[in-house]
Structure 1
Amino acid sequence: MTGGHVAVIDIGKTNAKLALVRRSDLSEVAVVTRPNAVLPGRPYPHFDVEGHWQFLLDGLASFHADLGIEAITITTHGAAGALIAADGSLAAPILDYEHTGPDECARAYDAIRPPFSETGSPRLTKGLNLGAQLHWQFARDPLLKERVSHVVTYPQFWAHRLTGVFATDVTSLGCHTDLWNPYKGQFSSLPARLGIENKIAPPRKPSDVLGSVTAEVAKLTGLPADTAVYCGIHDSNASLLSHLVAQEPPFSVVSTGTWVIAMAVGARPVSLDPALDTLVNVNAFGDAVPSARFMGGREHDIALGGATAQATEADMLQVLSCGSMLLPAVVSETGPFAGAQSEWVGDEPQLGSGQRSAAVGFYLAMVTSYCLELIGHEGPVIVEGPFARNSAYLLMLGTVSHSPIIPTASATGTSQGAALLAALDNPLRHQMPAVPVPDKQMSEALLSYAAAWTRGLAKA
């Protein structure tokens, strides 16, 4: 493939998206979205996959009619998988990983899960370990395992809907599932302990072509019958991929959205601590990548109370001078400060004000910097997603990490990387310029504020 457009299915925790990406320069030419609503009720909170499917079919038909589609790639959030019956339908709904159900079986699951040294996967609450989801689903429905013919990771659920082919991918398996050994590049001991070693679909590289669209999909969308569908990739690894092929290590990528995922490439050696929500991700080439994470996008929305204002330089200087600061953790279930309760130090800025936005941006940057330190970051920091447009966040992150900060222009931070799966022979080779270094007054104020934030953290 030398030109044309790639359709990217991008299912994030907050929104489902379909992006049309021009292959020659990996620019997005069209994007449509819908909320990723969680459906309540029996048998447990689950994702609206049928609603998404109709949305995707409509979007594919529209994009192809307008501009043409030559290939389809897929990226989704992690901590999700699908249990598929012999007839190709879902044997059970796809569980929302924020449901607390798996905690009911925590003790029994802990007795069988592999150690961190085998998987690089920390023990997380709720359904954030896919292995814990599967264990709980099988425990609460003793007949479910018998109904299951194939287990696939979430990007490959959509790939199966498009092609009929069953697969998993190494990046989704390597996303704190407990199911993968990133050091040996093979399944961990857990699938056998769960009794699914013959049901879990074979692992593939994200850039593998699984097949062409089915006759039904071609009929519903107008796509040519030979439209290629690529295996698919975990969303934060989609963000990482474009930089793996275009950037010399060492560097780090901070993928922002509902989750903020920091990934260090060519990092200095460190001992990862699973208690601080550090982990090993697996990149598109199957390599282990030290990573750290927190629910930064969710924290941003909660702290701002839905009233967002752009922080001006005057707003930032006012917050720096008066010392208003937010300490972690706004979302206390995950991240390096899990268990801590957030508090404001000094005067709490008014909701909807630029000063509130500045203080929250500084908070998110301080937590991000701490995450980068935990994983041995060196070199520039590339910021993907919504926080790439947050000036307070970028200024503080660059100052406190002593690193060049390079924001990326993509409106949907994962789409460009996912499209690259179909364009590895033509990677994007340019970046946005680094954020300018602040002047002496601003720099000194930022460093003083960061030192006070760290002291406040020690007292909390």
Structure 2
Amino acid sequence: MDRGPERLPVVAILDIGKTNKKGFLIDEHYRIVWENNCRFPEITDEDGDACEDVQALAAWVRQTLQEMLALRQYRVKAFNCSAYGASFVLINEEGQVIAPLYNYLKPFPPDLQDKFFADYNTADELPGITASPVLGSLNSGLQLYRLKYQQPALYQATRHALHLPQYISYLVTGHACTDITSIGCHTMLWDFPQQKYHHWVGQEGITDKLPPIFPSDAVMTAQLENDRLVAGAGLHDSSAALIPYLATFTEPFALISTGTWCITLNPFNHRPLTAEELQQDCLCYMEYQGRPVKASRLFAGQEHELQTRLLAAHFQVAPDYYKQVEFDPLLARTLDIPVAPALSHFSNRPLAGFPDYERAYHQLMIDLVAAQLQSTQLVLDNTPVKRIFVDGGFSRNPLYMHLLAAAFPQLEVYAASVAQATAVGAALAIHRHWNPRSLPGDLVELKYYKTESIQQV
């Protein structure tokens, strides 16, 4: 009897961003063989603040999985997901969602924040111990604290508070759990030195709302209609995006992930955050095997966008004209290196002082990379890092890459790319449970930038 062609074994991954929701099927060689994406409008919570439509999201999750399982050319062996952090889904004893998915940008009541810090930050140590700069609702633990004091009936009805990645996993498995990459991401919940919840979490009774921690590299069984598969607990997206690099490289490295924010992640810096580092916008993420990843942030992508718009208007060229500018090391050597780098340094330079766009743009990038050097150095100091990988938008900008290589002459600097790094990272986290093959050696594509070709600038 002809059984037809062999079905390709794959893992199903959902990647939930603030704007785009993506579904992928990834084969055993970590090639994406199927994908779809969706976006839907935000709704508002009871205060009129914008928030995710959690019901629409749940419907999309179920529909996408049904669509994946209906593709008879693929055999879905496993499932995992990644999603943005600092966001809780509240469910009751019956597993029903009982509150909006509050936005992490929702204003936090100042009086309640004052009360919290008066009670639990008397020695000014809480941000350092929990590796969490004071960020209001972005400290997701404070969202539960607010709920307890401002919406006690809703708090009482909450059986489980699930970070968003774990809610997506719960929809698939029916198993409520907590994941270390979510609770370890500027939540103010986790005591990094003690490797347990901070004492305030127990004192307020919030641990009763948080289900047991489930290992990020473990799986549970899920039954979807006629299909039985294994499923992970879900991962915070920043931690998931780091996994392809951790899986590929054993020598110490730092990753500069560039976009609106340029975030330097150093998985080889395990020292506790100092007060000075917290004041300079450093924080810690937790990688999927439970080790802290010290990180620094710079709003450089946003500054680049702002300044290139101003340059385009001044020199009467297209907004993206900078993409045509080739790196000129001779020109770079004639320009000014900021003595006290600041992200806004270029905005204080009069554009009338530049004879052409190319000279002005070179100066802008020198100023931005000087600020990047300062930011990255915060998490590199006294660590064995030998290489810097840059991914995201600036990895495709030759001026940024050449200048960064010149700024770190003692290190190897590479432009790096991983197709859908977050989704691939979620698949890699549970690799041993679904994929009999060894890890491919070409997960990360690298381009080396030499420092010898130019002087340090």
2:326 corresponds in structure 1 to 314
Q: Alignment partner of 2:297: what SS? A: strand
Query: Could you tell me the TM-score, scaled by structure 1's length?
Result: 0.79
Aligned partner letter, 2:98: A
Q: Alignment partner of 1:280: what SS? A: strand
Decide which of 101, 104, 108 is 1:97's aligned counterpart: 104
1:165 corresponds in structure 2 to 175
Residue 39 (1) aligns with residue 58 (2): no
Query: Could you tell me the TM-score, scaled by structure 2's length?
Result: 0.80
Q: For residues 79-133 of structure 1, what are the alpha-carbon distances to aligned partners after superposition, in whole Å with 9 as ceiling and x for unaligned? A: 2222212221222111111122344522112224463476342332331111222
Q: How far is 1:291 from its partner?
A: 1.8
Residue 405 (1) aligns with residue 413 (2): yes
Aligned partner letter, 2:54: V
Counterparts in 2 of 1:367-446, with a 5 A limit? 367-376=371-380, 378-402=385-409, 403-424=411-432, 426-430=438-442, 431-437=444-450, 440=453, 443-444=454-455
Contact 1:122 1:176 in 2 (8 A): yes
**Structure 1 regions of 5+ residues with no counterpart?**
331-340, 449-460
Residue 241 (1) aligns with residue 246 (2): no
- The change in CA–CA distance for 1:358 and 1:28 in structure 2 (over 3 A counts) is farther
Contact 1:170 1:206 in 2 (8 A): yes
- The change in CA–CA distance for 1:301 and 1:41 in structure 2 (over 3 A counts) is farther
- The change in CA–CA distance for 1:155 and 1:423 in structure 2 (over 3 A counts) is same
Q: How far is 1:400 from its partner?
A: 1.5
2:293 corresponds in structure 1 to 289
Decide which of 179, 186, 194 is 1:184's aligned counterpart: 194
Q: Alignment partner of 1:168: what SS? A: coil
Counterparts in 2 of 1:11-22, with a 5 A limit? 11-22=16-27
Counterparts in 2 of 1:334-345, with a 5 A limit? 343-345=347-349
- The change in CA–CA distance for 1:412 and 1:369 in structure 2 (over 3 A counts) is farther
Same amino acid, percent of matched pairs: 22
- The change in CA–CA distance for 1:184 and 1:371 in structure 2 (over 3 A counts) is same
1:227 corresponds in structure 2 to 229
Contact 1:254 1:381 in 2 (8 A): yes
- Return the index of the structure with the highest Cα Rg: 2
Q: How far apart, in 2, do the equivalents of 1:98 and 1:354 lie?
A: 38
Deviates further, 30-39 or 8-17: 30-39
Counterparts in 2 of 1:139-158, with a 5 A limit? 139-158=149-168
Equivalenced residue count is 422
Q: How far is 1:245 from its partner?
A: 2.7
Aligned partner letter, 1:436: Y
Q: Compute the RMSD of aligned alpha carbons.
A: 3.5
- The change in CA–CA distance for 1:51 and 1:45 in structure 2 (over 3 A counts) is same
Contact 1:91 1:148 in 2 (8 A): yes
Aligned partner letter, 2:44: P
- The change in CA–CA distance for 1:270 and 1:162 in structure 2 (over 3 A counts) is closer
Decide which of 34, 49, 74 is 2:81's aligned counterpart: 74
Decide which of 135, 147, 154 is 2:145's aligned counterpart: 135
- The change in CA–CA distance for 1:409 and 1:368 in structure 2 (over 3 A counts) is same
- The change in CA–CA distance for 1:295 and 1:126 in structure 2 (over 3 A counts) is farther
- The change in CA–CA distance for 1:54 and 1:9 in structure 2 (over 3 A counts) is same
Contact 2:45 2:102 in 1 (8 A): no
Contact 1:316 1:359 in 2 (8 A): no
Q: For residues 169-193 of structure 1, what are the alpha-carbon distances to aligned partners after superposition, in whole Å with 9 as ceiling and x for unaligned? A: 0111110111112233221113223
**Structure 2 regions of 5+ residues with no counterpart?**
1-6, 310-317
1:347 corresponds in structure 2 to 351
Q: How far is 1:304 from its partner?
A: 5.2
- The change in CA–CA distance for 1:358 and 1:322 in structure 2 (over 3 A counts) is closer
Q: How far apart, in 2, do the equivalents of 1:436 and 1:118 lie?
A: 36
Q: How far apart, in 1, do the equivalents of 2:289 and 2:8 lie?
A: 24
